[in-house]
Structures are given as C-alpha cells and as structure tokens.
Amino acid sequence: MSAAVPPVLDVREATKVYGTGDTAVHALRGVSLVVERGDHVAIMGASGSGKSTLMNILGCLDVPTEGRYRLDGIDVGRLDERRLSILRNRRIGFIFQSFNLIPRMTALANVELPLAYGGVRREPRRRRALAALEQVGLADRVDHEPNELSGGQQQRVAVARALVTAPALLLADEPTGNLDTRSTADVLNILDRLSLAGRTIVVITHEADVAAHAKRIIRLVDGRIAEDRRQVPVTGHPPRHGLAESAK
C-alpha cells in the first residue's frame, strides 16, 4: 500500500509570543489548522487578530514559539535557515500586495528569479517562465519592465512568478489591495481558475469580496480561530486571458 498523501499545511497548537513578562504580546494562542491539497482558504481578521503572524509562519518567514508546523509533510521546526530557504523557494509561491517586482528587470526576468535561485538552467528556466506568463495572459508583455505595466499587469507578473516553481502552496497576502476594480476581477478570476485546476491557495485578506471566492473561511480573533467554515465559492466571468493546461 502507498503511504497516505500528507496535507499541504498541518499546524498544531501554534502559539507566538513577542517579548517577555508584562510586555509580552500573544499574537497566536494555540492555533490548529489543516489544509488539504486543492483547498482554497481565506484567512480573515481585524488588525491585531494574528492573521499576519499566521501568514508569516505558514510562509516559513517566522516560527511559532510553541507548537508544530508541517508543510507538505515536512516538519518546518526541524530545519535550519538554509533548508528553510530551499523549502520556501520550492514549496511556496508568494503573492504580495505590493507586487515586489525588481524595477529594472523585465517581466520575464522577474518570473525567472525563483528558478534562478533554485539553480535551474537558463533554457528550461526561460521556457517555464514564458509558460507562466502565458498562463496569466501576459505573453505580449514579457520584455516590459514593471514601470511599463499597469498595477493589474504587475500583479499578474507576480502571480506568474509564484506559479513558476509549481509550488505545493500559493500564499497570497492581500493580493488585490492595490488594484482597481477591473484588475481585481482579473486577479480573482486567475485564482478561481487555479483553484479549479487543483492548486492549493491560502489568501490573507480583510475584504469580504475576495474571501467570497474561497472554498473555506477561517476567521481569527485575538490570536485564536473563531470561525472555520465551508462555503460555495463565488466565481467571476472567465478571464479574457485563459490559463494553459500547464497550470494543473
């Protein structure tokens, strides 16, 4: 018999405390969370609820004070910084509110970056980056630098960069926070299609309209999970730019 496939995320009784004594801040208070493959989860909460702290832990950018976190079956707490860096590069695709593109590099070069860091050779790296840009409808913008692209196009480059390593997890932090209505719809449509194709997506958001596209809502209050429920996701109109089969 083959071994059971582990969940993408498995967090058990995670706490996070900043400082000590009377000034200690308890950002997370015993959070347990399992996210299976193919799920699309929105994590919500007011300022100070702990959602940013949880995102940093899920993204292997921080570690819990206590508790355990397994990403794609790997016990993150047992890794040194070098192996953590490799894990982030190979298993997590990050999408940030502020895009985080390198200004003087083309869209293609920006998307190639995670593969370059991972040691992928030039030709396969370029081929994969071109395919990722085609997935998000930017095949005609590969040679454009960020200042030649709209905000929505920059975020689509960021989505392509997140996809290019075929990660176990897409982790998006307020991915539409800097976008206008039309660009927001474009990005949400892309996430919808990726979810339908079986990608595992976790979105950190305070926007109900964004959370409505998820299959599951997790709400944090004072460092604890106050709500964890399933829903039928809203899906928008098919994007003007289709996703290639390589999204699967």
The pLDDT value given to residue 187: 95
pLDDT band at 243 (very low <50, low <70, confident <90, very high): very low
Closest CA to 35 of 70, 75, 83, 85: 70
C-alpha neighbours within 13 Å on the C-beta side of residue 168: 21
At 144-198, the pLDDT tens digits run 999 999 999 999 999 999 999 999 999 999 999 999 999 999 999 999 999 999 9
The pLDDT value given to residue 246: 37
The residues, ordered by sequence, that sit 6+ positions from 140 with a Cβ below 8 Å of its Cβ are none
Cα(11)–Cα(234) distance, integer angstroms: 27
Cα(200)–Cα(33) distance, integer angstroms: 14
**How many other C-beta atoms can be found within 10 angstroms of the C-beta atom of residue 8?**
25
The pLDDT value given to residue 2: 54
pLDDT band at 245 (very low <50, low <70, confident <90, very high): very low
Cα(213)–Cα(243) distance, integer angstroms: 17
pTM of the model: 0.91
Closest CA to 137 of 245, 239, 32: 239
Q: Which residue has the higher pLDDT, 38 or 237?
A: 38
* β partners of residue 169: 92
**Could you tell me the domains of the chain?**
9-102+167-247 (3.40.50.300)
Closest CA to 201 of 177, 172, 235, 233: 172
What is the chain's Cα-based Rg?
A: 18
